[in-house]
Amino acid sequence: MSVLAGRRLSPLARAVAAVAAAVMFMMVFSAGTASAHGSTIDPPSRNYGCWERWGHDFQNPEMATEDPMCWQAWQHDTNAMWQWNGVYREGVGGDHEGAIPDGQLCSAGRTGGDRYAALDVPGEWHATPVANEFTVTVHDQALHGADYYRVYVTKQGFDPTTDELGWGDLELAGQTGVVPPGEGTPSDDPALGGVSVSIDVEAPGRTGRHIVYMIWQASHFDQTFYGCSDVVFG
């Protein structure tokens, strides 16, 4: 839970907290670049979207009312936002359903302990409008490459505002073969670096809110990345 929650701080204390947070931010993105990984950035994964919208303004109390699902994730563990590129597991060996229980897909089976647990909570997550044919963009910060990317979309009738996500709720909607390390569109965003890979997705018959689920099997190691993105069709 945030150290700022539940109490009013003096101007000096707020300034100290802001400096400490800025130092933490710089440590994550300077010391962490060599070991950086990635996530879905369009439509944004839940934690990448929170970082994109609030990473520069994380002390703004309006997050609680404007983006309540990001707020509850921030209160649960601030690192879910700062370490948006770290939702992965090692040694899965392709058995994704065996490694990740139903209800924990967005946190990759509570990888990192409870750090990403708030990502599994159903609710009014910020949703990106999409058509029934759209493109998913995954960012590979450290040029890992991929044995494959797989993109799933929830079945019609699933309600991400109330339903926990399970494997039986998903249908495969797009995939790639091998993507060599470094292949993709280079990013000129200093907070990203690396390259972006696009995957064409088809999800006929979908209307309303859904979850797009991404699996990225990195090729450099048996390391698999996962991500939940919220979308709205039609």
pLDDT at residue number 35: 52
Report the distance separating Cα 93 and Cα 149, nearest Å: 15
∠202-70-15 over CA atoms, to 5°? 140
Which amino acid is present at 128?
T
Longest CA–CA span in the chain (Å) reads: 55
pLDDT at residue number 234: 86
pLDDT at residue number 190: 84
Report the distance separating Cα 176 and Cα 184, nearest Å: 13
Structural element, H or E, at residue 75? helix 68-76
If you search the block for the tokens 């209307």, which residue do you land on? 207
pLDDT at residue number 13: 43
Q: Output the six-digit token pair for 126.
A: 């910020």
pLDDT at residue number 221: 86
pLDDT at residue number 20: 41
Give SS3 for 46.
helix
Instruction: Kindly list the domain boundaries of the chain, sorted by start residue.
Output: 11-233
Give SS3 for 11.
helix
pLDDT tens per residue across span 124-141:
999 999 999 999 999 999
pLDDT at residue number 189: 87
Which residues of the chain are modeled with pLDDT < 70? 1-36
Among 192, 180, 183, residue whose Cα is nearest residue 36: 192
pLDDT at residue number 220: 85
Report the distance separating Cα 88 and Cα 70, nearest Å: 20
Q: What is the DSSP letter of 95?
A: -
pLDDT tens per residue across span 23-72:
343 334 333 333 568 999 999 999 999 999 999 999 999 999 999 999 99
| Residue 156 neighbours by CB under 8 Å, 6+ apart | 205, 206, 207
Q: Output the six-digit token pair for 26.
A: 């710089």
- pTM as predicted: 0.85
Statement: 11-233 belongs to CATH 2.70.50.50: yes
